[in-house]
């Protein structure tokens, strides 16, 4: 699904990713953990194609094709979803309007028929219910006035609607209370835990992994993956701290 | 007389950023008088989307308790100038909601002089401009509160969005107040589309031009909230916006 080979990237001329290699197969859930400043969010943004995140070396193949040559919207159409740590507020633009246009832009680029207004609303309602989100909230401007937890749930609703092959979720657990954490975790499982899909979870903490059980855990420090293991590695990190485990 | 007919120069503040070459063949401009009697209400829409230069001069007088809602879509590919003088009697209400969409080398401008002549009158001006290419979008607006016009409530909300580094926006909200008990607010901002917002929309699969259109549509819509012909104005603005992108 995703093959990252020796990826190096910089932001504002400062090297952040210093040679990351990672292979994610369909059906797998990977967690990337690491201390602040390790490069976790940079990895997510670089894979998403955010302007200002400059790739200086290495390669990324997504479903066998070069990912890095694609524009951000083309990466989405290819099946990549980036869940934001800080979802952006867009005044005046409703979720429903923007998501329908986004979904249909993706479908168009794949040669599929657009969803009608009715079909889209049915899909949106179904995914909103999955995340226990009031459909009325999706008629409001994107993320405006949403609490931290509502923004993260809205991210998961978007993921459900857009139905990606690979989701890269950047600290989806930050800013969530216990109930919202469980709802988001269950949402990720319901939407993404399938043989033909994969997830890369970027997180500081073990707590999300109680709900979304990873197959592999990687420790990112200083722009490199310094250790990889199974789910037990996350528990070890929680017990012993990054310094002890990553040293 | 000949003085009044002479083409204004740039030293005239109201014409400082005007396209004088485009104005010359249209000068002098006939003033359109709109006078509303006591308690009378009217809504007026000006849509300036034709291909040739268009210059309008409105002189509005609102008697006590009268109200006028003026909505303007200024999106001429040539020169477009809407100048409004409004004099508000006691408790009168004047609303201006204007959007300007300037592309190519067009100069578009809204010039207002709003006078609160009696007490407790309300004026609200919302102007949203988008300028791309080498275009210029101007708002020059003055609110004058005469002695005795206590209880005045005046608001100017002026924002401009530049699509290219070669585009220009001029905004000059002005207040001149000679009464004591007055609430006059003005806000003014010139900026670019939020890069974070654009990336967020793109990350969901929206092509860049669509993401821009969506954000600008929302930006412009603020000018037409509550307009009698809101839907028609939004549609016309969207068409002009698509031509701009």
Q: What is the DSSP string of chain A?
A: -EEEEEEEEEETTEEEEEEEEEEE-TT-EEEEE--TTSSHHHHHHHHHT-TTEEEEEEEEEETTEESTTS-HHHHHHTTEEEE-SSPPPEEEEEHHHHHHHHHHHHHHHTTPPPPPHHHHHHHHHHHHHHTT--GGGGGSEETTT--HHHHHHHHHHHHHHH--SEEEEESTTTT--HHHHHHHHHHHHHHH-STT-EEEEEES-SGGGGTS--SEEEEEETTEEEEEE-HHHHHHHHHHHHHHHH-
How far is it, in rounded angstroms, from Cα B34 to Cα B42?
A: 10
Of B99, B52, B58, B103, the C-alpha closest to B80 is B52
Distance from CA of A77 to the nearest CA of B (A): 6
pLDDT at B4 over 80: no
Mean pLDDT of chain B: 95
Distance from CA of B225 to the nearest CA of A (A): 11
Query: Cα dist. A3→A110, B51, B136, B190 in Å?
Result: 22, 54, 48, 43
pLDDT at B245 over 60: yes
Give residue B193's pLDDT: 93
Closest by Cβ to B204, choosing from A50, A89, A99: A99
Mean pLDDT of chain A: 93
Distance from CA of A238 to the nearest CA of B (A): 32
The answer to whether residues A30 and A209 touch, using CB atoms and an 8 Å cutoff, is no
Kindly state the tokens that stand for A97.
């309007």
CA B161 to chain CA centroid, Å, is 14
How far is it, in rounded angstroms, from Cα B213 to Cα B42?
A: 32
Distance from CA of B128 to the nearest CA of A (A): 14
The answer to whether residues B63 and B89 touch, using CB atoms and an 8 Å cutoff, is yes
The answer to whether residues A44 and A168 touch, using CB atoms and an 8 Å cutoff, is yes
pLDDT at A246 over 80: no
Chain A partners of B215 at a C-beta cutoff of 8 Å? 90, 92-93
Model confidence pLDDT, tens digit, residues B215-225: 999 999 999 99
Of B70, B8, B57, B2, the C-alpha closest to B30 is B57
B204:A158 CB<8 A: yes
How far is it, in rounded angstroms, from Cα A95 to Cα B204?
A: 11
- Averaged pLDDT, B37-64: 95
Give residue A7's pLDDT: 97
Kindly state the tokens that stand for B58.
């409105």
How far is it, in rounded angstroms, from Cα B112 to Cα B96?
A: 9
- Averaged pLDDT, A189-208: 93
pLDDT at B125 over 60: yes
CA dihedral over B212, B213, B218, B220, signed as positive or negative: positive
Residue of B nearest to A106 (CA): B205
B205:A73 CB<8 A: yes
Query: Cα dist. B9→A39, B21, B23, B29, B93 in Å?
Result: 58, 11, 11, 15, 32
Kindly state the tokens that stand for A188.
């990720």
A97:B222 CB<8 A: no
How far is it, in rounded angstroms, from Cα A202 to Cα A172?
A: 8
Chain A partners of B208 at a C-beta cutoff of 8 Å? 71, 73
Give residue A237's pLDDT: 87
Give residue A247's pLDDT: 63
Distance from CA of A50 to the nearest CA of B (A): 7
Closest by Cβ to A105, choosing from B203, B206, B222: B206
Give residue B2's pLDDT: 42
DSSP string, A130-178: HTT--GGGGGSEETTT--HHHHHHHHHHHHHHH--SEEEEESTTTT--H
Size of interface A-B (CB pairs under 8 A): 80
Chain B partners of A83 at a C-beta cutoff of 8 Å? none
With a threshold of 0.85, tell me whether the complex ipTM lies above it.
yes
Closest by Cβ to A90, choosing from B195, B210, B215: B215
pLDDT at B3 over 90: no
Model confidence pLDDT, tens digit, residues A137-183: 999 999 999 999 899 999 999 999 999 999 999 999 888 888 999 99
- Averaged pLDDT, A19-28: 96
Model confidence pLDDT, tens digit, residues B170-224: 999 999 999 999 999 999 999 999 999 999 999 999 999 999 999 999 999 999 9
pLDDT at B146 over 60: yes
Model confidence pLDDT, tens digit, residues A135-145: 999 999 999 99
Of B183, B163, B201, B92, the C-alpha closest to A84 is B201
Number of neighbouring beta carbons within 10 Å of residue B51: 8
Kindly state the tokens that stand for A175.
């800013």
Model confidence pLDDT, tens digit, residues A26-79: 999 999 998 888 999 999 999 999 999 999 999 999 999 999 999 999 999 999
């Amino acid at each position: 699904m995703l093959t990252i080979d020796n990826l190096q990237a910089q932001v504002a001329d400062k090297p952040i990713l210093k040679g990351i290699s990672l292979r994610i197969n369909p059906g797998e859930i990977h967690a990337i953990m690491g201390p602040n400043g390790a490069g976790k969010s940079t990895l997510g943004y670089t894979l998403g194609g955010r302007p200002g995140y400059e790739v200086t070396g290495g390669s990324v193949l997504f479903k066998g094709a070069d990912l890095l040559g694609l524009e951000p919207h083309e990466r989405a159409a290819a099946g990549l979803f980036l869940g934001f740590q800080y979802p952006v507020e867009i005044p005046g633009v409703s979720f429903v309007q923007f998501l329908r246009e986004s979904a249909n832009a993706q479908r168009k680029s794949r040669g599929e028929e657009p969803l009608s207004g009715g079909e889209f609303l049915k899909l949106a309602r179904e995914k909103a219910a999955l995340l226990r989100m009031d459909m009325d909230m999706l008629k409001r401007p994107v993320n405006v006035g949403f609490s931290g937890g509502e923004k993260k749930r809205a991210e998961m609703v978007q993921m459900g609607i857009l139905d990606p092959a690979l989701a890269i979720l950047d600290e989806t657990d930050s800013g969530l209370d216990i109930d919202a954490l469980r709802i988001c975790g269950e949402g990720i499982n319901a939407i993404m835990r399938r043989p033909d899909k994969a997830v890369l979870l970027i997180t500081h903490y073990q707590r999300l992994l109680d709900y979304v059980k990873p197959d592999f855990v990687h420790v990112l420090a200083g722009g490199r993956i310094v250790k990889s293991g199974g789910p037990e590695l996350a528990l070890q990190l929680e017990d012993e701290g990054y310094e002890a485990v990553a040293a | 007389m000949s003085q009044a007919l002479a083409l204004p120069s740039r030293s005239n503040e109201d014409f400082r950023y005007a396209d004088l070459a485009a104005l010359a063949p249209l000068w002098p401009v006939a003033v359109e008088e709109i006078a509303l009697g006591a308690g009378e209400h009217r809504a007026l829409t000006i849509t300036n989307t034709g291909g040739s230069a268009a210059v309008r001069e409105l002189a509005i007088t609102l008697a006590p308790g009268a109200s006028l809602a003026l909505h303007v879509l200024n999106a001429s590919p040539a020169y477009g100038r809407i100048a409004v003088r409004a004099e508000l009697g006691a408790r009168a209400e004047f609303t201006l909601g204007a959007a300007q969409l300037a592309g190519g080398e067009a100069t578009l401008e809204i010039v207002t002089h709003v006078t609160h002549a009696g007490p407790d009158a309300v004026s609200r001006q919302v102007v949203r401009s988008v300028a791309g290419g080498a275009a210029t979008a101007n708002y020059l607006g003055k609110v004058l509160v005469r002695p005795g016009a206590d209880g005045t409530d005046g608001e100017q909300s002026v924002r401009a969005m530049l699509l290219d580094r070669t585009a220009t926006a001029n905004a000059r909200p002005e207040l001149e107040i000679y009464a004591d008990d007055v609430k006059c607010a003005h806000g003014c901002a010139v900026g670019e589309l939020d890069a974070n917002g654009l990336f967020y929309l793109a990350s969901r699969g929206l092509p860049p031009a669509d993401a821009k259109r969506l954000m600008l549509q929302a930006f412009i819509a603020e000018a037409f909230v509550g307009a009698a012909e809101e839907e028609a104005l939004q549609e016309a603005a969207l068409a002009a916006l698509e031509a701009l992108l």
